[in-house]
Amino acid sequence: MKISPVVLTLALIVFGIVGCSEPLTTRETGAIVGTVGGAAVGGAVGAAVGHPAAGAAIGGAAGLGAGALIGDRIQALEKQQTSLDQQIKQNELELQRQRQELEELKKASKER
C-alpha cells in the first residue's frame, strides 16, 4: 500500500494540531495553511508533468515558507494593534482624570 505525500502531509499536520496543548499562533496557522495549499497546488502541477509526489513536496515546502512569513507579519501587526489599543485606553483614562480634575477646580473657584 502506497501512501501519497499529500495524505501523509495532511496527516502530519492534523496530528501536529491535535498534539498542541495551546492554541496555534498566527504564524503557525499561516504555516499550516501555506503547507496544505502549496502541497495541493504542487501536487496538481506535478501531476500535469508526471511527478505528483515531487510537486506536492516542493509545493508544500514553498507554501510552508510563504505561509510562515505571511503569518509572522500578521502576528507582528496584531501585536502592534494590541499595543496601540492599550495606549489609547490609557490616554482615555488620563483624559477622563484630567476632565474630572478640571471640574473640581471649577467648583473650587466658584466657592471662593
DSSP string, 37-101: HHHHHHHHHHHHTT-HHHHHHHHHHHHHHHHHHHHHHHHHHHHHHHHHHHHHHHHHHHHHHHHHH
pLDDT value for 36: 86
Q: What is the share, in percent, of the chain residues with pLDDT greater than 90?
A: 41
pLDDT value for 20: 64
**Mean pLDDT (whole number) for 45-72:** 89
* pLDDT surpasses 90 at 57: no
pLDDT value for 6: 65
* pLDDT surpasses 90 at 96: yes
Question: Domain ranges in the chain?
Answer: 5-111
Amino acid at 63: G
Distance (Å, whole) CA 64 – CA 101: 55
Contacts of 72-75 with CB under 8 Å at 24 or more apart are 72/26, 72/27, 72/30, 74/26, 74/27, 74/30, 75/25, 75/26, 75/27
pLDDT value for 107: 92
* pLDDT surpasses 70 at 67: yes
Among 8, 18, 64, 15, which Cα is nearest to 38's?
64
Mean pLDDT check: name the lowest of 8-22, 27-41, 42-56, 78-92.
Answer: 8-22
